[in-house]
Amino acid sequence: MHIFKLLSTFFKVNVQQELAYRADAVVNMLMSLMWLGWELLSLSIIFSNTATLGGWGPGELVTLLGVWRLVNTLMAALIWPNTEKFNNSVRDGSLDYTLLQPVSSLFLISFGRMVVWRLFDVLLALGLIIGGLTMSGGSATPLQLASFMLLTISGMMIIYSLWIVLIAVTFWFVKFDNNVTILQALMDAGRYPATVYPFWLRMLITFVIPIAVATTVPLQALRGDLAPWQTLLFLGVSAVSLLVAMQFWRFGIRRYSGASS
């Protein structure tokens, strides 16, 4: 209950910040709609020249775009703004105040800054997922739907775990400002199925920077392309990734010497 109260407080504070710049939020929402139109136009152009892309049909690509937007919204709403805030706090020593709070420092670092207007992007992403599933016309089983939702969540957990490790590197390299640039640059690869990429890039976005695990894999479960053991494996990997990332964070915190040193 204490954690939920903190989340509620953070949300209210960030809403107040957004309300101070309402016109900016409206412009950003319009820009999101514009980019969505461009993305759908791009898919339309692709499928005007081919029936499938890497074995995936139009409806499946629209669903994949929705999943990608959902993951990307998580990054844009929480990860990117909190990365900049964290890097600055390590350099100027304000992280000391965070570590003194009677709450998990990782929780405060992760949710202190929220870009609230991105909730609009969440709605767009959910609309794309529902629309894509309708276009596909396939009848997914309850097990496939459950696997899809669980793997989407677990994929986000893996991306979040990778982010924790990347920002924790700042405890060793204080000037490491671009610690998530590669992750941000590779996010665009997730809007298309991993099967369309060459082998080396497919391995990169699956096992090194696991963008495909957060986007393509959930759709593979929905298509029935994954065996039950593979679904369990990906769920297990996400749990292990989060545990390892949290241990790495604690190790980094012990490395931190504070503003007075």
Query: How distant, in Å, are the alpha carbons of 2, 11, 92, 118, 210 from that of 15?
Result: 20, 6, 26, 11, 31
Amino acid 1: pLDDT: 65
Identify the top-confidence range among 46-60, 165-179, 231-245: 231-245
Helix axes 119-136, 58-74, angle to 10 degrees: 160
Q: How far apart are CA 253 and CA 154, in angstroms?
A: 25
Residue 217 has pLDDT above 70, yes or no: yes
Exposed, middle or buried by CB within 10 Å (0-12, 13-18, 19+), for 75? buried
Per the listing, tokens 């490790």 go with 165
Neighbours of 59 (CB within 10 A): 16
Model confidence at 91, pLDDT cuts 50, 70, 90, reads: confident
Q: Whose CA is closest to 90, among 184, 176, 13, 182?
A: 176
Which helix (H) or strand (E) is 91 found in, with range?
A: helix 80-92
pLDDT for the residue numbered 258: 66
The neighbouring-strand residues paired with 53 are: 56
What is residue 225's predicted lDDT score, i.e. its pLDDT?
84
pLDDT tier for residue 51 given thresholds of 50, 70 and 90:
confident
H or E element that contains 39 = helix 22-47
Cβ-Cβ contacts under 8 Å for 43 (sequence gap 6 or more): 58, 61, 62, 65
How many whole angstroms separate alpha carbon 174 and alpha carbon 104? 22
Q: Name which of 60, 54, 40 is nearest 215 in CA terms.
A: 60
Strands (E) located in the chain: none
Alpha-carbon dihedral sign for residues 78, 79, 82, 84: negative
Percent of all residues in the chain with a pLDDT value above 70, rounded to a whole number: 94
Report the number of secondary-structure helices (H) and strands (E) in the chain. 12, 0
Judged by DSSP in three states, 56 sits in strand
Determine the pLDDT at residue 244: 93
pLDDT in tens, 121-151: 999 999 998 888 888 876 678 888 888 889 9
How far is 110 from 160, CA to CA, in rounded Å?
9
Instruction: Kindly report the pTM of this predicted structure.
Output: 0.83
Determine the pLDDT at residue 245.
92
